[in-house]
Chains A and B, each alone.
Chain A
Amino acid sequence: MNGPTIVPTDVPPDRPARQLGLDKPRLLLSEQHHLCPGCGEPLAVRMMLEAIEEVGMAENAVGVVGIGCYTTFSGTMDVDVIQALHGRAPSVATGAKRMLPDSLVFTLQGDGDMVNEGLQEVVHTAARGESLTCVLINNGVFGETGGHMTATTVAGQRTKNTLEGRDPDYHGHPILIGDILAGLEGTAYAARGSVHNAAGVAGAKRMFRKAFETQMRGQGFSFVEVLTMCPTGWFIPTAEGPDYLDRVMGEVHVTGDLKVDGRVTTTEERRAETERQTAEFERMTRAGNDD
């Protein structure tokens, strides 16, 4: 045969799929997940697990997992897990970390878990400056229950109980939790990343590393929020998830470092930085095309 085989995708395959390679992080027990096609959560969790390994804590990590779609990872993440109730992970992690000061302790929570049911928990834990990392996987909907509005759902976003889009006059405004936490004295590091493109995925991993390093140095509370696609809960075609995240969620929950070395960034500063980077990328792309 000459050249690669072109697999036709407009007809059913004539033979079963075959795995060509495996690049599984050490801390994942399974390369499979049971979430929907196009879901961003597996990517976010993968970046988190790779970061744990990269900071050298693969053999001393405890995760406190909330309740949501991502709860399925409590069975496949190869770290010790305490399964918490909806919203309660930060206090459970507090008790664990106080007894295990040398372990890497993190929570894994969704926006319904952290920002709806357990808002006071994460705020108090940050204010206390607990030396642990709270991780928020934010898709702006209760994915597991079927796409309902959460406290982070942005204005105009369609959900199953805001079918005409979230109307701030009727349903209220979204909470930008990362920005709130960044403003607290006990928070040493806070960041908001996303996994809607390759640069975002790489950036999310950098944020996880920075957060875990902050914890290991005992500098205080650290927080990583990752915006993730939920095409099922957003009622859009799977392939449109990344673009929808960028256009709809990303416009409000603007990504970037929220607090580094005591300096809090504003949404406007992060938006300007994103525009600068985009312009730089486009300039380089043009330059590349000119060659």
Chain B
Amino acid sequence: MSHTDTMRFMEGSEAIAEATIAAGCRFFAGYPMTPFTELLEHLARRLPEEGGVCVNAESELEAVGMAWGAVATGNRAATGSTGQGLALMQESFSEITRAELPLVIFNMARGQSDYFQATRGGGHGDYRHMVLAPMDIAEAVELTQLAFHLADKWLNPVLVYGDYLLAHTSEAVEIPQGGPDGMGALPDKPWKIDGRLAGSGRSRNANSLGFEKGKPGIDPEAFWKRLAVKHEEIDAQEARVETLFTEDARLIVVAFGSIAKFVRYVVKQLRAEGMPVGFVRPITLWPFPSEAVAKAASGASRVAVLEQNAGQMIDDVRLAVLGTAPVDGIGEISTDSSGFGVGAIHDAEFIGRRIREAFTGREQRT
């Protein structure tokens, strides 16, 4: 069968839903909210057809609770919302992370202003979850399947950060069954809560404190220190990034998510015009690809961050660059990708103007 035979023209929400099912996810719970709603709609229709369950939860609090219970049974499970809905779920995310449960979370965000929420979280205690930021539907399919894999690999939640553009535009894509090849073997799930060890004296306890059965007292400190080591390992091993023209660039432009695809297009055009500009696109927002950013910036005289918010990822870029080059924010708050059609459109012309200004500013200052 040729490649084109297996490709279908799909809306992003449908493609992500199909990728979720192809990854073996059999439980989803959500609460409608634009622009996340269509993902819920597709899964509400498709999961029962595949022998799975989709619950229309009465609130985001309950949606994440249901997904928590389902993922604890050892089945692949997911939930999602927009950043507003995810704000309500933060307490559970932090608990689920410390309970080491492999939940996948979708943020079909109203733009890029949830970067801090996604990468820092608003829950209690020390916890991190991986964040994957696809730039288009084809990559969203790949990263959705990778999200389930990474969650199981590390026993840690993974968040897929999309937006209106991703959810509501269409592309011809292929959904690989079972996910892309080469992701590697996964560990068994001896921890899964299935009721089968009840009465055996070895029953299980999925909790966030390192609490073990039959042992009086708890030692959460030792447990949390072990989790901190795990998060350091994830940080060291799982960063993903795309770079372009960074070898000889004097200006490095950093962008993520849907806007990054347009930024990349503009950077290629400017290169063709002879401007020594390079491009770095973090695919994982946590772990942040600090090494790649630092390497790209090491030969440049300026770094510019184009994000659709008041300046959030710029903090991570500055931490990566560690003062070796000035870092400017050249994006701005935009509801362009919110789904409401109320924001200024950040098209190639806008992006080109901002990058030229950043480059000229550098020329003037040197």
* A interacts with B: yes
The chain A residues found within 8 Å of chain B, CB to CB, are 26-27, 29-30, 32, 34, 53, 57-62, 64, 74-85, 88, 90-100, 103-105, 120-121, 124
Q: A61-B198, A88-B92, A94-B66 are in contact. List 9 more A-B contacts (CB 8 A).
A: A78-B201, A79-B203, A81-B204, A83-B208, A94-B55, A95-B29, A120-B62, A121-B62, A124-B59
Measured between beta carbons, the chain B residues less than 8 angstroms from A81 are 193, 203-207, 213
Most buried by B among A34, A74, A84: A84
Contact between B212 and A62, CB atoms less than 8 A apart? no
Contact at B203–A94, with CB atoms within 8 Å?
no
Chain A residue contacts of B58, Cβ below 8 A? 120, 124
A76 to B73, alpha carbons, bound, how many Å?
20
Q: What's the Cα separation between A23 and B346 when bound, in Å?
A: 72
Contact digits for B195-233, partner A, Cβ 8 Å, 1 yes 0 no: 111111101111111011111100000000000000000
Chain B residue nearest in CB terms to A89: B65
Please give, as numbers and ranges, the residues of chain A lying within 8 Å of B61 by CB-CB distance: 88, 91, 120-121
Q: Is B67 an interface residue (CB 8 A)?
A: yes
Q: List 17 A-B contacts (CB under 8 A).
A: A26-B199, A60-B196, A62-B195, A75-B213, A75-B214, A77-B203, A79-B199, A81-B203, A83-B99, A88-B61, A91-B68, A92-B68, A92-B72, A94-B55, A97-B69, A99-B26, A103-B195
Contact assessment for A95 and B27 in the assembled complex, using a CB-CB cutoff below 8 Å: yes
Which residues of A sit under 8 angstroms from B204, Cβ to Cβ? 80-81
Instruction: Pick the contact of A98: B55, B62, B195, B203 (CB < 8 A).
Output: B55
Contact B211 A96 (CB under 8 A): no
Q: How far is the CA of A83 from the CA of B211 in the complex (A)?
A: 10
- CB atoms of A98 and B198 under 8 A apart: no
Residue in chain A with minimal CB distance to B29? A95
Given A81-B207, A83-B205, are A96 and B214 neighbors across the interface (CB < 8 Å)? no
Judging by beta carbons under 8 Å apart, are B55 and A59 in contact? no
**Could you tell me if A85 and B92 are in contact, using CB atoms closer than 8 angstroms?**
yes
Q: Identify which of residues 48-64 in chain B touch chain A, using a CB-to-CB cut-off of 8 Å.
A: 53, 55, 57-59, 61-64
A contact residues around B75 at 8 Å (CB): 99
Are A96 and B198 in contact, with the CB atoms below 8 A? no
Contacts of A34 in B (CB 8 A): 216
Q: Kindly list chain A residues whose C-beta atoms are within 8 Å of the C-beta of B62.
A: 90-91, 94, 120-121, 124
The docked-state distance in angstroms from the alpha carbon of A276 to that of B102 is: 55
Interface residue B171 (Cβ < 8 Å from any Cβ of A): no
A174 to chain B, nearest CB (A): 24
Q: How many A-B residue pairs have CB under 8 A?
A: 163
Whether the pair B199, A27 counts as a contact (CB closer than 8 A) is yes
Q: How large is the interface on B (under 10, 10 to 19, 20 to 34, 35 or more residues)?
A: 35 or more
Residues of A within 8 A of B347 (CB): none
Inter-subunit contact A94/B201 (CB<8 Å): no
Q: How far is the CB of B50 from chain A (nearest CB, A)?
A: 14
Interfacial chain B residues near A59, Cβ < 8 Å: 195-196, 198-200
Cα–Cα distance between A124 and B99 once the two chains are bound (Å): 25
Report B-chain residues with C-beta under 8 Å of the C-beta of A64.
Answer: 69
Complex contact A99–B53 (CB within 8 A): yes
CB of B194 within 8 Å of the partner chain? yes
Task: Tell me which residues across on chain B come within 8 A of A85, comparing CB atoms.
Answer: 91-92, 95
List chain B residues, Cβ under 8 A from A82.
68-69, 72, 193, 206-207
B215 smallest CB distance to A (angstroms): 7
- In the complex the two chains form, what is the Cα distance from A92 to B208 in whole Å? 14
Closest to B204 in A: A80
Chain B residues within an 8 Å CB radius of A99: 26-27, 53, 69-70, 73, 75, 77
Bound: A264/B215 CA distance, A: 43
B69 in contact with A92 (CB, 8 Å): yes
Given contacts A61-B195, A64-B69, A121-B62, contact A80 B29 (CB under 8 A): no
Q: Are A29 and B214 in contact (CB under 8 A)?
A: yes
Do B215 and A75 have beta carbons less than 8 Å apart?
A: yes
A182 to chain B, nearest CB (A): 20
**Chain B min CB distance to A33 (Å):** 10
Q: Which of B29, B63, B95, B205 contacts A74 (CB 8 A)?
A: B205
Residues of A within 8 A of B66 (CB): 91-92, 94-95, 98
Bound-state Cα–Cα, A92 to B94, Å: 15
